[in-house]
Amino acid sequence: MLQGQQLQSILKRRAELLANVRRFFSTREVLEVSTPILSSAAPTAPYLDSFHTLFEAGNRSKTLYLHTSPEFAMKRLLAAGSGGIYQIATVFRNGELGRQHTPEFSMLEWYRPGFTLADLMAEVNAFIQQVIGTPPAVTCAYSDLFARYLQLDIYQTDVDTLKAVALKHISALPADWQTDYDGWLEMLMSEVIEPELKALNTPVLVTEFPASQAQLARIQPNAAGQPVAMRFELYAGGMELANGYDELCDATELRQRFERDNIARQQQGKPVMPIDENLLAAMQSGLPQCSGVALGLDRLMMLHLAEDNISKVQSISFADN
């Protein structure tokens, strides 16, 4: 692990960053909250794996999941009338370990009742400029990136075309690689477009995601009448820093998405996750229209300190623990 001056410097910079984050929200009258880490439910997203553990008391035992983000609990607070809230939470994601990934990391998540997605994007833009002094972010639609860098109209294409384009641009990709429409888009995004965005040397807010990648965002037509996910991602320094939604507030549709996700998990041979009934009940009772975003604080530190490995910005890294 880090020692002496190097450690002191990282600890100091982290503490300063957290103080700056809290100042940012304090001046905007967004309230800091804490929510439980353990839950009897877990997210269903097909490519997100929760850690689980056992609660044991005498003869009773119950499986509990460590949160992968405080999203569900915070939405319950919103539905119960909390108003604008933020949280700095340690979150857990199983199986994710690499230069930009670690199974246990710091997430900053905030929700703004009454904010449109554009309002929240403006706030995220102000946030990164104020907190770590980045240049202003530029905004770009997901489909525009594919048009600009790959001459592809993602709404008029099919899996075979996407595969051919991917094999042409990504030499490391074996010819028998198999995935679906979204899998190819994600592959092209991470291997071809992200390096282009990194080279811009300025943060980029990517918005209007394909409806099939809506996650927990609302879907609505864009200016061209194409149904798109009201979702954005912030890219900076070759990293995905934040993911935001104009939140889906329809409990029936949310339940359908959870169930679809669980079917996709089963097809991959992954365990089905218990759906968060508390969240659905809260949403049924009325979640105010709001926009929310989750931002990786360790990656923000990496960007701030120009470090290329997440383990170098943590007090004690996963490998040292």
Partner 1 sequence: MASYSTNEFKAGLKFMMDGDPCSIIENEFVKPGKGQAFNRVKFRNLKTGRVNERTFKTNESVESADVVEIDLEFSYTDGEFWHFMDPTSFEQYAADANAITDSKDWLKEQYTYTVTLWNGTPLLVTPPNFVNLTVVETDPGVRGDTSGGGGKPATLETGAVVRVPLFIEIGEVLRVDTRSASYVERAKKD
Angstrom distance (rounded) from CA 176 to CA 158: 17
- 179 lies in the binding site for partner 1 (CB under 8 A): yes
Residue 100 CB, shortest distance to partner 1, in Å, is 8
Binds partner 1 (CB under 8 A): choice among 18, 31, 122, 170: 170
Interface with partner 1 includes 213 (CB under 8 A)? yes
Q: Site for partner 1 (CB under 8 A): which residue of 28, 132, 159, 182?
A: 182
**Binders of partner 1 in range 214-233 (CB under 8 A):** 215, 233
Q: Give the pair of three-digit tokens for residue 264.
A: 């996709």
Q: How far apart are alpha carbons 203 and 221 in whole angstroms?
A: 26
Instruction: Give me 83's structure tokens.
Output: 């108003």
Interface residue with partner 1 among 62, 99, 148, 168 (CB under 8 A) is: 99
Report yes or no: 186 and 144 within 8 Å, Cβ to Cβ: no
- CB-wise, 46 or 113, nearer to partner 1? 46
Q: How far is the CB of 85 from partner 1 (least distance, A)?
A: 23
The long-range contacts involving 95-103, CB below 8 angstroms and separated by at least 24 positions, are 95/49, 97/318, 99/308, 99/309, 99/310, 100/239, 100/299, 100/302, 100/310, 101/310, 102/298, 102/310, 102/311, 102/314, 102/317, 102/318, 103/51, 103/318
**Binding-site string for partner 1 from residue 36 to residue 55, where x marks contact by CB under 8 A and - marks none:** ---------x-xx-------
Closest CA to 147 of 203, 198, 195, 188: 188
Of 126 and 173, the one with the shorter C-beta distance to partner 1 is 173
Give whichever of 64 and 162 is closer to partner 1, judged by the CB atom: 162
Residues near partner 1 (CB under 8 A) are: 45, 47-48, 95-101, 170-174, 177, 179, 182-183, 186-187, 189-191, 213, 215, 233, 240, 243
